[in-house]
Chain A
Amino acid sequence: MPVEIVKDKWPGSVRQVTLGATAAEGGTRSHTVTVGGEASLPFMHFEAPMPNRPRVAIEIKDRRPDDWSPLLLEVWGAAADNPAEWAKAAEQAGADLIVLALSLTKADGSPTQAADAAASVKAVLGATGLPLIVFGPGQAEADNELLVAVAEAAKGERIALGICEDKNYRTIVATAMANGHLVTARTPMDVNLAKQLNILISDMGLPLDRILMDPTTGALGYGIEYGFSVMERLRLAALQGDNMTQLPMLVTPGFEAWKTKESKVGEGVPADWGNWLQRAINWEVMTAVTLLESGADIVVLRHPESVARVKAVIDGLMQPA
């Protein structure tokens, strides 16, 4: 019985965004990474081929973090003491991209200075040929100060600067424009807010193909359903032709999953939670896969085993059988 399948025809598609610049393009990356370009819902290869596979980024810090799960610190070992080493290890672990998250303070508790941030970025750029994404510590003043220094230090490398939020985007966008970088735009789990921030940023003159959006997602068990639906809605809007949602989505399941109690705590929890390490990795992987199914273009992870598993999932999702 021949069945005629239903194919959606979409007027719109997601923009392609390229991270990194090679020597030929004025940078020092060994290659660039392009994401986006989807003209159908995630992995509906029978409607439109996906020009770019979703990518896995590994998040590293500029110094050994104080608040990460011991499971993560254990697996990264000494590399966590040095951003350059950590970046190398991440590349080894299969990262397509490096996310360098700057700390608010140095190990001695004094505030991270612009020069420190610039130095960390330079070190990471020197250690790996992968394109780079840099997140500020997440406080407006510090973000603005450190990211301007970072943008200047990495001029020409086409890195992505984060995080732009609706109350703090002008400085970061301006420095991204001046130094040829990209930005990531983060909004709290709301379709409208995501779109609004994209409009605000593009109103400043930054081309849309230099913006990644991070709709924030929540972890499995901690609101992931909102993130899941917000991403589906954003992707649907993009395909329906809404210009201001046609941006690739960067999400941080690593950050989200590893702050849950299930991942952080190994003792004094119910036995039915199972093996701690495997549970924590499952939590990260399953959060990431859920987000891939709803349209993530870049997933930022923390544990190398998760990276391997998520990459295998992407392989499977990119093979239309």
Chain B
Amino acid sequence: MALSGIQIYKLLPQTNCKECGFPTCLAFAMKLAAKQVELASCPYVSEASKAQLAESSAPPIRLVSLKADGREVKAGNEVVLFRHEKTFYNKPGVFVKLADSLSEAELQAALKAVEAFHVNYVGIDLSLDGFAVENVSGDGARFAAAVKTVRAHSKRPLILLAGEAGLAAALPLLAGETPLVGPATDGNWQALAALAKEHKAALLVQGESLDALAELSEKIKGAGLEDLVLQPVAATLAGKLALNTHIRRLALKKNFRPLGFPTLAVAGSAEEAVQAVTKYAGFIILERFAPELAYPLLVLRENIYTDPQKPIQVQPGVYEINNPKPTDPVLVTTNFSITYFSVANEVESSGLPAWLVVVDAEGMSVLTAWAAGKFDAERIAKSFRTFNMADKVSHKRLVLPGHVAVLSGELEAELPDWEIRVGPREAVDLPKFMKQAL
């Protein structure tokens, strides 16, 4: 059970000495309850309290990190079942599957395509995280050769899907890296665990049921391995969803250690990949690479893993409502989503065309942003310049929200060739204002 701020506070010294960097012990306790600080920041916690608090702060899902050449793909450490409860932290790494049965040329082509792939999404450069090389041939040497080819063309972290022979041949090629290897099953886990341990690899543990997975992970832990990734296997989407949900719930709600590991999902289609992103996969292997799938998938991953605690914002920019012409009015508002929506909806449903300039006010509403100095004449003027508003319209008249009528003078100075009109305070009054006053 997570402790509340007050409960934690009662375990702290209550001296308000401020050494933790917070003005009071209660402020620190609330941050601790929200898992935003480390207990160690308070030098004065008693040993007894420490023991009590440690219990509630240990991560229930182990952090597993795949590494190669300075790149790192992390999974685990998640603390919630639903992103709105806090946030999802570690975006599931997406790995493209490559079979060692491919010819050298085919392999190279596939590698090059993935290596070259990158897209820009709202200023973020998106690309894939690595490769999962599969020992389809069953031949250790061939597998090692394939891994060698992959390493020759890519520095990204790897997943090696192979049995004992394949891994024994390929792992020595990856010295200094942390790949994920396996899957370990009931039949081969001892050998694989030994190899993983020797080469400092993370081990994939496969099972068709929770019972089997838990049993196997316990055995492997017993063999001294800590970095495990679970691969629950089910035939249908519903089955996969159920297994992944069980694992997450058991870890978070019961602190059930045998299943307290990130999971891996193999996605044969866009649909399966969506479920893996939304429902708890820590690593995803894509059966096939196609840019028209990778692009939306990586975007979805960005979306689902954004921090929902941040104020909901829309992109600053110029929004065209009801196909405006250069003669139509220019309205100004902030990028707080609700502010934007209420303005956009009013205008949209009135049927009146308009240009809506959304200024970057750090996601605050008009009044709050004004109060905090994030929506002033300077910022508005800057937006008009960066969005080239002067070129979009034939008139130069802009409508300022009524709440910030005080800015009109300064704005005139900032945008000397624009006529500043003060609009209504509330969005509901906009259509009437536009009909009558413009």
User: Are any A and B Cβ atoms less than 8 Å apart in their complex?
Assistant: yes
| A220 lies within 8 A of B299 (CB) | yes
Q: Is B13's CB within 8 Å of the partner chain A?
A: no
Given A3-B214, A5-B250, A293-B275, A282:B117 Cβ within 8 A: no
Q: Identify the stretch in B14-22, B157-165, B344-352 within 8 Å (CB) of chain A at 4 or more residues.
A: B344-352
Q: CB within 8 Å of B: which of A247-262?
A: 262
Alpha-carbon distance between A139 and B431 when the two chains are bound, in angstroms: 12
Q: Is A313's CB within 8 Å of the partner chain B?
A: yes
Q: Which of A233, A262, A290 contacts B300 (CB 8 A)?
A: A290
Q: Which chain B residue shows the least CB distance to A276?
A: B292
Shortest beta-carbon distance from B68 to chain A in Å: 23
| A1 lies within 8 A of B218 (CB) | yes
Q: Is B224's CB within 8 Å of the partner chain A?
A: no
Q: Which of B238, B292, B300 contacts A273 (CB 8 A)?
A: B292
Given A3-B210, A282-B270, A293:B238 Cβ within 8 A: no
Q: Is A283's CB within 8 Å of the partner chain B?
A: yes
| A3 lies within 8 A of B250 (CB) | yes
Given A1-B215, A273-B292, A43:B304 Cβ within 8 A: no
Q: Identify the stretch in B95-103, B251-259, B367-375 within 8 Å (CB) of chain A at 4 or more residues.
A: B251-259
Shortest beta-carbon distance from B395 to chain A in Å: 25
Q: Is A320's CB within 8 Å of the partner chain B?
A: yes
Shortest beta-carbon distance from A177 to chain B in Å: 23
Give the residue among A45, A270, A321 with the most B Cβ atoms within 10 A. Answer: A321
B residues within 8 A CB of A44?
242, 245
Q: Is A229's CB within 8 Å of the partner chain B?
A: yes
Q: Is A188's CB within 8 Å of the partner chain B?
A: yes
7 tightest A-B CB contacts, nearest first: A274-B292, A321-B239, A274-B291, A316-B237, A279-B292, A1-B215, A229-B84
Q: Is B394's CB within 8 Å of the partner chain A?
A: no
Q: Is A286's CB within 8 Å of the partner chain B?
A: yes
Q: Is A318's CB within 8 Å of the partner chain B?
A: yes
Q: CB within 8 Å of B: which of A219-252?
A: 220-221, 223-226, 228-229, 232-233, 236
Shortest beta-carbon distance from A12 to chain B in Å: 17
Q: Which chain A residue shows the least CB distance to B300?
A: A220
Binding site for A on B (CB under 8 A): 82-84, 116-121, 210-211, 214-215, 218, 234-239, 241-242, 245-246, 249-250, 253-254, 256, 258-259, 270-271, 274-275, 278-279, 290-297, 299-300, 303-304, 306, 308, 312, 314, 337-338, 341, 345, 348-351, 428
| B271 lies within 8 A of A6 (CB) | no
Shortest beta-carbon distance from A132 to chain B in Å: 24
A-B contact pairs, 23 of them (CB 8 A): A1-B258, A5-B246, A5-B249, A6-B249, A45-B242, A167-B428, A188-B341, A220-B299, A225-B308, A229-B308, A232-B84, A272-B119, A272-B291, A274-B294, A275-B290, A275-B291, A275-B292, A276-B292, A279-B296, A283-B296, A293-B275, A316-B237, A321-B242
Q: Is A65's CB within 8 Å of the partner chain B?
A: no
Shortest beta-carbon distance from A268 to chain B in Å: 15
Q: CB within 8 Å of B: which of A272-321?
A: 272-276, 278-279, 282-283, 285-286, 289-290, 293-294, 309, 312-313, 316-321
Q: Is A46's CB within 8 Å of the partner chain B?
A: yes
| B295 lies within 8 A of A273 (CB) | yes
A residues within 8 A CB of B253?
6
B residues within 8 A CB of A94?
none
Q: CB within 8 Å of B: which of A169-208?
A: 188-190
Shortest beta-carbon distance from B324 to chain A in Å: 15
B residues within 8 A CB of A273?
119, 291-292, 295
Alpha-carbon distance between A253 and B90 when the two chains are bound, in angstroms: 27
Q: Is A2's CB within 8 Å of the partner chain B?
A: yes
Given A3-B250, A190-B338, A282:B279 Cβ within 8 A: no
Alpha-carbon distance between A318 and B242 when the two chains are bound, in angstroms: 11
Given A45-B238, A293-B274, A316-B236, A139:B351 Cβ within 8 A: yes
Give 1 or 0 for each of A1-30: 1 = CB within 8 Å of chain B CB: 111011000000000000000000000000
Give the residue among B236, B271, B345 with the most A Cβ atoms within 10 A. Answer: B271
Alpha-carbon distance between A224 and B305 when the two chains are bound, in angstroms: 11
Q: How many residues of A contact B (CB 8 A)?
A: 55
| B211 lies within 8 A of A3 (CB) | yes
Q: Which of B218, B238, B259, B278 contacts A317 (CB 8 A)?
A: B238
Shortest beta-carbon distance from A224 to chain B in Å: 5
| B246 lies within 8 A of A313 (CB) | no
Q: Which chain A residue shows the least CB distance to B241?
A: A43
Q: CB within 8 Å of B: which of A82-123?
A: 104
B residues within 8 A CB of A6?
246, 249-250, 253-254
B residues within 8 A CB of A226?
312, 337
Alpha-carbon distance between A293 and B279 when the two chains are bound, in angstroms: 8
A residues within 8 A CB of B242?
43-46, 320-321
Alpha-carbon distance between A272 and B408 when the two chains are bound, in angstroms: 45
| B308 lies within 8 A of A309 (CB) | no
Shortest beta-carbon distance from B117 to chain A in Å: 5
Alpha-carbon distance between A319 and B379 when the two chains are bound, in angstroms: 54
Give 1 or 0 for each of A203-218: 1 = CB within 8 Å of chain B CB: 0000000000000000
Q: CB within 8 Å of B: which of A116-145?
A: 138-140
| A274 lies within 8 A of B293 (CB) | yes
A residues within 8 A CB of B292?
273-276, 278-279, 282
With A273-B295, A278-B290, A321-B242 known, 10 other A-B pairs at CB within 8 A are A220-B296, A221-B121, A221-B300, A224-B303, A232-B84, A236-B82, A278-B293, A282-B292, A293-B241, A316-B237
Q: Which of A140, A272, A286 contacts B349 (CB 8 A)?
A: A140
A residues within 8 A CB of B279?
293
B residues within 8 A CB of A316?
236-238, 271
B residues within 8 A CB of A283?
296
Shortest beta-carbon distance from B281 to chain A in Å: 12
Given A5-B250, A272-B118, A309-B271, A228:B210 Cβ within 8 A: no
Alpha-carbon distance between A320 and B83 when the two chains are bound, in angstroms: 24
Give the residue among B237, B293, B296 with the most A Cβ atoms within 10 A. Answer: B296
Shortest beta-carbon distance from B154 to chain A in Å: 17
Shortest beta-carbon distance from A294 to chain B in Å: 7
